[in-house]
Structure 1
Amino acid sequence: MATLQVRKGKKSITYRVEFMRDGKRISKSFKLKKEAQTFMALLLVDNDLANSLTNHILTTLNFSDAVKKLLDQDNGRDPSKHQRLRYWVSVFGSLKVGKVTRQQVKAELKRLSNDKAPATLNRYKAALGSLYRYLSDEFDIDYNPVKGIRQYTENDARTRFLSDEELSILFAMVKQSKWDQLFLLVLMAITTGARRSEMLTLEWDDINFKTKTAHLPNTKNGEQRILTLTGDVITELMKYRCIGGYVFPHPDDPTIYFRNFDIHWQSALREGEITDFRFHDLRHTCASLLAMNGASLLEIAQVLGHKSITMTQRYSHLCIEHKAKLTDRVFGGIING
């Protein structure tokens, strides 16, 4: 329970709030009685605030050190999450993890909103939240400044996908690429719906040629997933098959995967005159082809590895168009039968 003490000095009066938490006495002084009373009221309703002032980890661990601990043990295959955590380090680096407040996080997200899309803001928020979930699991603390911050409405869902003509052109261009594995990477992206990082970090031990599958041990969603590989993909893989190592190694250093192949990708797009198209849109192309060929939203979600079918709803109109053509073909002349 918190108590309010009036302390009279030689020149002024201050108001000190004292409270106990986990056997530790904490005090905080204020110049104004109203400020002290407001602080006492917050202690009663905000458990996170009390924790942040008393928990040993929250009051001694630097934010930058906490991120380092997480990244050192994080074997996930989502480089963008690491990039976003490092961004938060640039904002909160030397602060103690318990000193990062919800108000500070909201203010930074608002600043980011000047040039970031709502979906991207949600990813930054999720990355920060993952850090505090890690701290909760590792040190049994109950504090998360992201808690209570609402998701941004993602009204910028992008569903750009290749037309049949563009698809033919792209295949022709990537086959001519100076990087000889670009065709394999693009073909795999379109036929599996896998994310860029999931494919680039594949190792030959993950490929099962007998079952025509690729095992993703740790995806962006933190779950294992199996990719089914078409005969064409298997044929291409056989050209580069090795014992151990990465499927897509760096041309100059086979011990690392070829993370930054974008110069070859952009060159193929430019030569094929394909505009407004990103590598990630190959994933949309996979989903659109599935939808237009009769796959259900649930089946599309399973192929793409979506945890929630909500993410797959963007392709629902393509499923409906397919169903409309199907029912019209089957039942269009039923009254004349």
Structure 2
Amino acid sequence: MATIQTLSGVRGKTYRVQFMRDGRRVSKCFKRKKDAEKFLAQITLDDSLASSLTNYTLNTLTFQNAVTQYLEQYDGRDPSINQRLGYFINVFEDKPVGKITRSVLKAELDKLTDQGLSPATVNRYKASISSLFTFISNEFDIRHNPAREIQQRKESKGSTRFLSDDEQKRLLIACRSSEWNKLYLLVLMALTTGARRTELLTLTWHDIDLNNRLATLHNTKNGDKRLLPLTMSVVDELRRFKSTGYVFPHNSNLGDYFRNFDCHWSDAKSRAGINNCRFHDLRHTAASTLARNGATLLEIAEVLGHRSLEMTKRYSHLCVGHKSTLIDRVFG
């Protein structure tokens, strides 16, 4: 039980808050009784704060060492995790992880906002450090994750870019003449499967079933295995390159996939006269093509691998024709 003691000295009165946690006695002194009462209320209501003041691991494990342990076992798909946690290493260095409280972390995230980073980017920084503290909590059986107590920044919905039929034709023609001979295949697969960039790039020939026209995605964003039906044009293109290892291998390291093909992608867009288009917009284009040809939102979600329809609703306005046909059939 926490208590407040009044102490008198040559410099006047001070107020000491004492409490026990995990067999350790902790005390903290304040010049004003009001501050002592506020601290007492905080540790009474905030179990995480009380633990951070008494737990051995939280007081001895440095942030830098925690990041090292976390990255040694990390097998996720975020290539930016090292950069984001590296930023926080420069900030917190050898600070014990228990000393990183909600207010401390929030102040650092606010600095990122002040530096001009978008709300979405700041949220990604928060997510990375939240994952770190989740690892610490599981690894050392403690409860301390200041990131969970910080509200997400509101992200703008942004625009959803679809390529027109004419733009798709021009882009594929430009890709066919690219210096990288597999850019056409990659873009064609993106337009006809709706798969994400990394999902396609990490495909191996072991994942491709040409006879049944299927590709198996093992490493998806939500962790679920997903099957991609392949069109005959994709299958014919795949047969041209059939080999072993990655379908899209690195030019100089066949044991790795070709991560950075952006120079070829930019060159193809330029020759096709297409502006303001990201590779991810090919995924939107695949969904829009499905919607305009009568696919329901549930069917689109199934193709894209969405767990809920919330993400798929951005294509709902393209399904109007299918809805009209459905209404006429049922009620007409």
8 A contact 1:6–1:14 mirrored in 2: yes
The aligned residue for residue 238 of structure 1 is 239
User: What SS does the corresponding residue of 1:18 show, helix, strand or coil?
Assistant: strand
The aligned residue for residue 36 of structure 1 is 36
The aligned residue for residue 184 of structure 1 is 185
- 1:207-261, CA deviations, whole angstroms, 9 ceiling, x for partnerless residues? 2334332222232223333322222222222222222x22211111212221111
The aligned residue for residue 56 of structure 1 is 56
Whole-Å Cα distance in 2 between the matches of residues 171 and 54 of structure 1? 62
Give the direction of change, closer, same or farther, for the CA distance of 1:112–1:55 in structure 2 (3 Å limit). Answer: same
User: What SS does the corresponding residue of 1:29 show, helix, strand or coil?
Assistant: strand
Q: How many residues align?
A: 331
User: What SS does the corresponding residue of 2:15 show, helix, strand or coil?
Assistant: strand
Amino acid in the other structure paired with 2:188: L
Superposition deviation, residue 98 in structure 1: 2.0
The aligned residue for residue 218 of structure 1 is 219
The aligned residue for residue 158 of structure 1 is 159
Indicate the percent of aligned positions where both proteins have the same amino acid: 53
Structure 1 residues 25-104: aligned runs within 5 Å: 25-104=25-104
The aligned residue for residue 196 of structure 2 is 195
| Consecutive unaligned residues in structure 2, runs of 5 or more | none
Whole-Å Cα distance in 2 between the matches of residues 88 and 313 of structure 1? 36
Give the direction of change, closer, same or farther, for the CA distance of 1:101–1:255 in structure 2 (3 Å limit). Answer: same
User: What SS does the corresponding residue of 2:147 show, helix, strand or coil?
Assistant: coil
TM-score (norm 1): 0.88
Amino acid in the other structure paired with 1:297: L
Superposition deviation, residue 327 in structure 1: 6.2
Structure 1 residues 165-314: aligned runs within 5 Å: 165-243=166-244, 245-314=245-314
Superposition deviation, residue 321 in structure 1: 4.8
Whole-Å Cα distance in 2 between the matches of residues 321 and 92 of structure 1? 55
User: What SS does the corresponding residue of 2:84 show, helix, strand or coil?
Assistant: helix
Whole-Å Cα distance in 1 between the matches of residues 313 and 220 of structure 2? 21
Superposition deviation, residue 105 in structure 1: 3.0
Amino acid in the other structure paired with 2:177: Q
TM-score (norm 2): 0.89
The aligned residue for residue 138 of structure 1 is 139
Superposition deviation, residue 277 in structure 1: 0.6
The aligned residue for residue 318 of structure 1 is 318
- 1:256-311, CA deviations, whole angstroms, 9 ceiling, x for partnerless residues? 22111111111111111100111111111111111111222222222222233212
8 A contact 2:217–2:227 mirrored in 1: yes
- 1:173-212, CA deviations, whole angstroms, 9 ceiling, x for partnerless residues? 1111111111111112122222212222222222233433
User: What SS does the corresponding residue of 2:256 show, helix, strand or coil?
Assistant: strand
| Consecutive unaligned residues in structure 1, runs of 5 or more | none
Superposition deviation, residue 131 in structure 1: 2.1
The CA RMSD over aligned residues, in Å, is 2.5
Give the direction of change, closer, same or farther, for the CA distance of 1:291–1:252 in structure 2 (3 Å limit). Answer: same
